Amino acid sequence: METPSESARAYLFMLLSSFAFASMGAFSHLAGERCDWHIVAVARSSLAFVLTLTLSLLTGVRLVLLRPALLWMRSVAGSLGVLFAFYALTHLPVSTSVTLSNTVPLWVTLLAWPALGYRPRASVWAAIGLGLAGIVLIQRPEAVGDRLAALMALSNALSTSVSMIGLNRLGGVDARAVVTHFSGVATVFTLAFLLMAGDRIDYTVLRDGTTLGLLFGVGLSATVGQLAMTRAFALGNPSRVSVVGLMQIVFALVFDLLLWQRQFGPLVVLGIALVVGPSAWLMLRSPLRRQSAAVHTTG
């Protein structure tokens, strides 16, 4: 049973994780203003892979590659989520992308019915309905590009949900090994998509020191967020710690206001509230309460 001290430390680690992931979003958007989003995705995956692999080797973690098969389900779904997430982060306001990507509890609740047999009650269906209404309000229907990016953010949330369902059935593998495996597979995926983009990618931007610094910031903040979240889940109640993780939406809003002076209309603010409120409630009632922090795909 966790002590009050452990609970406080868990919440502090989760706040640090939320700030780090929101910072990753800000770094990604800034980098996306200077280079193609494919490059940003590769930077996030490859740097995180190098850092987590180094940490795993230094701490003596037993790494895994081919088995168990469910680990590949988690890593492939998560890798697709990375592609979706970084398209959204570089094309949408950071807070909008982060909010839509944090609709994971809505999709987990829906997927847990056919996959795990957890049938939602009427109150849960109501929460899902409110969350979906919030999604509609957040989107700006007059911007075609924004609709595609919003769809990518929601696809990231759906991919993360599939990862969580798979990870819920995955036992006996150290969380650091799971993160390392995922980061390695994501690096292969993002590099493959970068190469498929061909001549459309302008690599000359990588000669710019500011751009390289922003890309390094993406990878470093993602790794810090991942490690802090892993520590938070190890110390505290998973469902309650997950709710604290929604603070990254607040941090993202602050970044949007400070760095880009973006203003949000009352309907968008209401939409964010409709997503955050039901998501927090569903997290506390989630059938996957013992979920590992290693599931996060954008961090």
Q: Dihedral of CA 81/66/164/245: which sign? A: negative
Look at residue 216 in the predicted model and tell me its pLDDT.
94
Cα 60 to Cα 54: distance, rounded to the nearest angstrom: 10
Name the nearest CA neighbour of 154 among 206, 247, 201, 92.
92
Q: How many domains does the chain have?
A: 1
- At residue 29 the predicted structure's pLDDT band, cuts being 50, 70 and 90, is very high
Cα 86 to Cα 32: distance, rounded to the nearest angstrom: 9
pLDDT digits (tens, 9 = 90+) for 276-286: 888 777 766 65
pTM, full prediction: 0.82
Cα 168 to Cα 164: distance, rounded to the nearest angstrom: 6
Range(s) of the domain holding residue 128: 4-295
pLDDT digits (tens, 9 = 90+) for 153-196: 989 888 877 776 665 555 566 667 777 888 899 999 999 999 99
CA trace torsion 62, 225, 75, 184 (10° rounding): -60
CB 67, CB 208: distance < 8 Å: no
Q: Work out the number of other CB atoms within 10 angstroms of the CB of residue 147.
A: 13
Within the chain, where are the H helices?
4-32, 37-58, 69-91, 94-101, 104-116, 122-138, 144-168, 175-197, 209-235, 238-245, 247-260, 266-284
Which positions ≥6 away from 14 have C-beta within 8 Å? 228, 229, 232, 236, 241, 244, 245, 247
User: Is the bond preceding residue 4 a cis peptide, omega within 30 degrees?
Assistant: no
Rank 25-29, 67-71, 134-138 by mean pLDDT and report only the highest: 25-29
Q: What are phi and psi of 68, to 5 degrees?
A: -75, 160
Cα 30 to Cα 216: distance, rounded to the nearest angstrom: 12
